[in-house]
Structure formats: C-alpha cells, structure tokens
Amino acid sequence: MTTSNKIALVTGATRGIGLETVRQLAAAGVHTLLAGRSRDGAVQAALKLQAEGLPVEAIALDVTQAASIAAAVAEVEQKHGRLDILVNNAGILIDDPTLKVSQQTQDTWRRTFDTNVFGLIAVTQAFLPLLHRSAAARIVNVSSVLGSVTLHNDPSSPIYDFKVPAYNVSKSAVNAWTVQLAYELRDSRIKVNTLHPGYVRTDMNAGEGAMDIPEGAHTSVRLALLGEDGPHGGFFHLDQALPW
C-alpha cells in the first residue's frame, strides 16, 4: 500500500506535536484525519493545512468521552471503511511542580490517567476493528522517556530528578499497554510501538525544550510509516530503542 492510499488519524492534533504529525503525514501523501476535542478547533487547524494543499480532514474526538469516540469511529467507517494509521498523541501534564511526589492530588492522578491512559486505550479498542481491515495498519502511542522505569531508578540518568509522578506513571502505563497489545497483535498485520518524541518546545512545557516541533514529530511519523520489516512492540526515540 502506498502512502497516497493510506488513511491516518492523529488524536490531540490541533496544536504542537500532534498538528505537526498531521502535517508531515499529509505531506507524505497520507490522507490524515486531524482530531480535536472541539470540531470547530479541528476544522480551524485543518483548514490551514488544506490551504497548503495537504490532504487533511477534520474530525471531532475527545478521548475522555465514550460518545465522542463512538461517533468518530462511525464517521471514519462511513467515509473511509478502514483505518491504516492511528497515532495516539493526545496527552496532558498537570502535575504541580511545587508539590512532592506523595502530595500530588487524587484529582491530578485521575485526570491524567483519564486522558493519557484510559483515553488512549479506549480509542485504540474502538478503532481496532477498522485497523484490522487495513492491509498493514500501524498504531503509534506517544509516550515519553519520563515513562522509563529503568531510567527513573538510575541516579546517573538525566531524568532521575525529574519527578512529575502522575504524568510519568501514566506514560509508564502507556508503555506497558503497548507491550500487552503487541502480544495480542503479534500474528496480525498491525504493528504497534510507543515513543519518546524528545524534549520539544511546546505549550505543554511552556516553550522549554531542546528540539523544535518538526523534529519532535519525526519519531511518530517514522513509526506510522513503518515497512513490513519494521519493529513491533518497541519503545523508541528517532532510531534509538529506549529502556523500559
């Protein structure tokens, strides 16, 4: 299947890495669905990319709302009949950096997991039937190096002192879910991987970071466009495998 025949959907795609992932997939010829919690927001973002001549379509999808997920699946099935690429990009970081690990509120934990974990799983479950209709589907779960338990337990690692626990643990859960799903899909035509985009200058980290947004989208796009010989069930940044 050529890229021009593929249908992709990117969640949390109205800004930042998600929006750039849509741009790069569409630039590669993939018909890409730009998903946002608000249809108006998704349409506004999609129109800008359409004006650049890119094959982008807006779709409303709130990963925390079952009815929104179901409506999105029904829309994709009606319009396209299948899905070839699902990029689970939507995520939040709402830990209070002034609080200790044990002091983060239950509300912070619940809201973080509702989006970063339960929403990601719910979207994947809902779209799996359409992904199974693809000749070679790809599921890409956007995680973070901050989800690496190995590195958090290593005093010499660069993230050892960076403890935003609800976010970190949610990304560890995303990695663990990826491994479990990869086992289920091991004999299918679907590849699933998880990734660290890099320390990217986005709204999520108040513009701090070491990478520009276009570079931050590279790993998502690479995993979305994997060939038949590509990895399955791994955790990557660019071409580098990361420790769980």
What is residue 62's predicted lDDT score, i.e. its pLDDT? Answer: 98
Phi first, then psi: what are they for 96, rounded to 5°? -90, 110
Identify whether 171 is a catalytic site residue. Answer: yes
What is residue 209's predicted lDDT score, i.e. its pLDDT? Answer: 54
Identify whether 160 is a catalytic site residue. Answer: no
The answer to whether the CB of 155 falls within 8 A of the CB of 140 is no
The token duo for 134 is 């693809």
Q: Hey, what CATH topology would domain 3-241 get?
A: Rossmann fold (3.40.50)
List all residues 6 or more positions away from 33 whose beta carbon is below 8 Å from its beta carbon. Answer: 7, 8, 9, 10, 56, 57, 58, 59, 76
What is residue 198's predicted lDDT score, i.e. its pLDDT? Answer: 85
Domain boundaries of the chain, sorted by first residue = 3-241
What is residue 225's predicted lDDT score, i.e. its pLDDT? Answer: 98
- Which position among 167, 183, 191, 199 bears the catalytic label? 167
The answer to whether the CB of 213 falls within 8 A of the CB of 202 is yes
What is residue 81's predicted lDDT score, i.e. its pLDDT? Answer: 98
What is residue 229's predicted lDDT score, i.e. its pLDDT? Answer: 96
Q: Which pTM value belongs to this model?
A: 0.95
What is residue 139's predicted lDDT score, i.e. its pLDDT? Answer: 99
For 182-206, the pLDDT digits (tens) are: 999 999 999 999 999 987 645 555 5
What is residue 214's predicted lDDT score, i.e. its pLDDT? Answer: 84
What is residue 199's predicted lDDT score, i.e. its pLDDT? Answer: 77
Low-confidence residues in the chain, pLDDT < 70? 1-4, 200-211
- Which position among 100, 160, 171, 199 bears the catalytic label? 171
What is residue 160's predicted lDDT score, i.e. its pLDDT? Answer: 97
What is residue 202's predicted lDDT score, i.e. its pLDDT? Answer: 55
